[in-house]
Structures are given as structure tokens and as C-alpha cells.
Amino acid sequence: MEASALSRIGLAGLAVMGQNLALNVAEKGFPISVYNRTTSKVDETLDRAHREGELPLTGHYTPRDFVLSIQPPRSIIILVKAGSPVDQTIAALSEHMSPGDCIIDGGNEWYQNTERRIEEVSHKGLLYLGMGVSGGEEGARHGPSLMPGGSYEAYNNIKDILQKVAAQVEDGPCVTYIGEGGSGNFVKMVHNGIEYGDMQLISEAYDVLKHVGGLTNAELAEIFDEWNRGELESFLIEITADIFKVKDEHGDGELVDKILDKTGMKGTGKWTVQQAAELSVAAPTIAASLDCRYLSGLKEEREKASQVLKEAGLQDEIQNAGVLVDKKRLIDDVRQALYASKICSYAQGMNLLRSKSNEKGWNLNFGELARIWKGGCIIRAVFLDRIKKAYQRNPNLASLVVDSEFAREMVQRQAAWRRVVGLAISAGISTPGMCASLSYFDTYRRARLPANLVQAQRDLFGAHTYERIDRPGSYHTEWTKLGRKNSAGVGAFN
């Protein structure tokens, strides 16, 4: 083919995300080639490109024709299901690729798979990027948040494309080079873990307002609309307000009340919690959100438990919870509790990223991560600009909790936060995300914890030793022998 007729970039995998991202690239003026094993998907994408503005997009039906239609050094985005389908696609395409060409995996891939593939394709002289893409179908089409990690040379080859395709905010496009290896996939994974926490906290705010405050869906929609004009302004708060407004076309009332209370998931939240455990980083809010998804899946068990416990005499406190509640105060308290809980959840995610960055030598820029999440992605929020500035003030910030501005805001909101959690507990409404965030805050802020007793127990039964607060070194004590000797003949409360 004539060089002038070659596409600037290619994309393989034309499910909805792939189609939308390809059309986004084409709409920004970059000629793009597309390929899919199922040929009807290629035809469908070509039809959309025609209908959506005669976009510069060409379809190809074999791996060879697809690869050869792209100008060297070739850059090819893969958007297929994570795992073996990625390996199969790489095998089919790389057969026709040349040294210096690049593969970009845009799926939610486990970061170690990306690091394995970087090594494997390097033997053929190929470059590799693992690129997190956030924003769902709408983001892919009109501007996602992009998190590319791996070969810096490969990033530079398509930097101009990614900067145009990404969501645009006042301080630049929502894309940056994340770092080496699987850092892009890891950052996207933690982003999704934070997203789990955000969604859980919002659902708890809804639960308390609905069942303690007795608010209608219309009132909830109005409240969330109002919150979206203040410090909680975000994509998730905005869409929550919209959800409450949708009527059920098959019956009376709103659709939200007819949805089965079982939550699905695709695995990134679980990976986040597993990594937190492996790195010894506390992430209780994210873990609580994952546990809630597991428990929501036990729908039949929960229904049986509800019946058994009622028969055993458990009173339904929820029914009478809102009788003596000041609704206006409750609404404001829940707003403050939600905001304070979010700070803790984001702090946990950022600390997990810092720990992995230190382990792998990725040198992540946390202020820049907060910046590229300000647009395009699911967790986009005004709040993220505050996080960006916190890390600009102190790139080595130990935790968002101790940033001067966030610390002041949490102290100001803690009374409301405690009222909401206490009210929910007394009403029998579970708020595991808010409770986890509050417990995290209360544990982190205490200069001394009861861990001294746990350490003494470990030393007693396992001779694990302990350190003292008043002198250096490790110590072991014969606790049982000394304790019983000292208590011999002495009454417990003498």
C-alpha cells in the first residue's frame, strides 16, 4: 500500500468499548484500521463510522491485512477479554509485525500478565504498553481517562493521539505516562478498587436517608442533585440523582425499587484487596465494599436469615427509625459522613499505589494520577483536584488523612460522621463502608493502640518476642509462669 494510504494506528477487538474507542480516534482526525475475528463486528464498525460523520476508519478481515494497513512503526490497540484471548490475539498479530512495532493492551488485565508479555514480545523486538481505560462506553467514545504503562518509547509514538482522544480538563488531557512494567494496569486496578468503595459509600448514604429519614426517591433525587453542586460533585453522585428519577415502565413507582439487590463484579476489586493484603496496606473501606458485594450475592440466604431471626424475636428497628429524626439535620450529617468516608477510601487507594510503586521502582506521580482521574473516568470528581494539590504540596505525603486541608475537614465532619454511623447501627442498618472508614480514621489518628496486648499474646503462645517503649532491643517473657506466680494467693479485685 502507498504510505499515504496507511492508517496511523490500529485497533483489534470490536465489542462496544473497542468500537467506541476506534470511532473516538477517527473523529479526532487520526486514520485508524480495525479488525475483529467476527467479521460482522468489522462491518458494524464501518457502518457506524459512515453514519457518525464519514470518519477515517478502514476495516480489515485478516490479521495480515490489518497489520500491513498501518504505517510503521505500527501501534496496535487490543481491546479483548483479559487472559488467554489477549495472548491469542498477540500471537495472531505479532506474526506480521516488525521490530519497533507496538502492542497496547487496553483491557482490565492483571499487571503481572502485562509484565510477562512485555518480556515475551521483546524477543521479537516489539514494544508493549498495558493501558488502563476508564469511563465505560461513553468515555471510550467521547473521552476516557487513560493510564498507559510499559515502554516509554511506545508511549511517545502515540502520545499525540492519546492526548487528543482522552478526556480534557482545565489542566490538560486525562492521560499521562504512568511508569514502567505493569504500572498502568496496576493503577487502573486500584482506580477500580476506589470505585468499589465510592459506590458502596453512596449506597449506604442512600440506605440511611431512605430507611432512617424516610425520604422518597423524588426527595433523594433532589438531594443528590444538590450535593452534585457542592464538594461531592462527581460522576457517581450525578448518575445516582438520575437513577432516582427513572419511572418503572412495567408498573408503579421508580425503577430503582424493582432492581434485584445482587451486585455483579469483574474481579478488579478483589485483586485490589488481595494486593493490599500482600503489601500489608490497610484498605478496610475497599475490602468492606467487596464483602458487601459477596453478601449481596447471598440473596436467598439473606431472605431465609431475615425470616429465621424474626421468628427468633429480632425486632425490625428500621420501621420505626425515622419517627424522631430531624430530616434536615440527617441529610447534612450524611453528606458530611459521605465526604469524610471518601477521604479515607481514597487515602487507602493512594497508599496502596505508593507501596507498590516503592516495591517495583515505578516512581508514580500521585498528584498526576489524581489529575488524570478528574475527567473521563468513573470516579471523576471535583474532589480529585484537592487530592492533586495535596500531593503537589507534599509529594511524600504519608496519607491524605494528614494533609493539612483534609485533616481539618475530617475533624470538622467527624461529629456528623459519628452521628450517622451510630444512628445506622441503632436502626439495624449496615454501613460497613462508613464504619470501615471511621475505624480507619480512629485507628490511624491514635498515637497508641491496644496492639501491645496482641504482641504480648503472640509472645506468650509463640515466643515471637516484643519491643519495649522505654528501651531498645527484642524481649521474650515467660508470661504464664510469671503471671500465675504473681497472682498466687491474690484475689482478682483485692
DSSP state, residue 36: -
- CA-nearest of 90, 159, 89, 146 to 119 is 90
72 CB-near residues (< 8 Å, 6+ apart): 98, 100, 101
Please report the beta strands in 56-166, taking only residues with DSSP state E, as ranges in sequence order.
57-60, 75-78, 102-105, 127-134, 145-150
The rounded radius of gyration (Å) of the Cα atoms in the chain is 27
Instruction: For residue 181, count other CB atoms closer than 10 A to its CB.
Output: 22
Q: Which burial class, exposed, middle or buried, applies to 279 when counting CB atoms under 10 A from its CB (0-12, 13-18, 19+)? A: middle
DSSP assignment of 317-335? GGGGTTTT--HHHHHHHHH
Cβ 79 vs Cβ 15: under 8 Å: yes
Number of H-type helices and E-type strands within the chain:
20, 11
Q: Are 21 and 89 in contact (CB under 8 A)?
A: no
List Cβ neighbours of 469 (8 Å cut-off, separation of 6 or more).
Answer: none
Using a 10 angstrom Cβ sphere, with 0-12 exposed, 13-18 middle and 19 or more buried, the burial of residue 256 is middle
Q: Who contacts 134 (Cβ-Cβ below 8 Å, separation ≥6)?
A: 144, 145, 146, 147, 188, 191, 192, 373, 376, 377, 378, 379
* Contact yes or no for 7/69 (Cβ under 8 A): yes
The catalytically annotated residue of 27, 109, 115, 195 is 195
Residue of 27, 41, 115, 188 marked active site: 188
Q: Where are the alpha helices (DSSP H) in 431-475?
A: 432-444, 451-462
Q: Are 342 and 201 in contact (CB under 8 A)?
A: yes
- Give the burial class of 142: count Cβ atoms within 10 A of its Cβ; 0-12 exposed, 13-18 middle, 19 or more buried: middle
Among 48, 17, 21, 374, residue whose Cα is nearest residue 164: 21
Active-site residue flag, 188? yes
Select from 339, 340, 260 the least CA-distant residue to 300. 260
Residue 432 Rama label (left phi>0; alpha psi -120 to 50; beta): alpha
Separation between Cα atoms, residue 231 and residue 225, nearest integer Å = 12
> What amino acid positions are annotated as catalytic residues?
188, 195
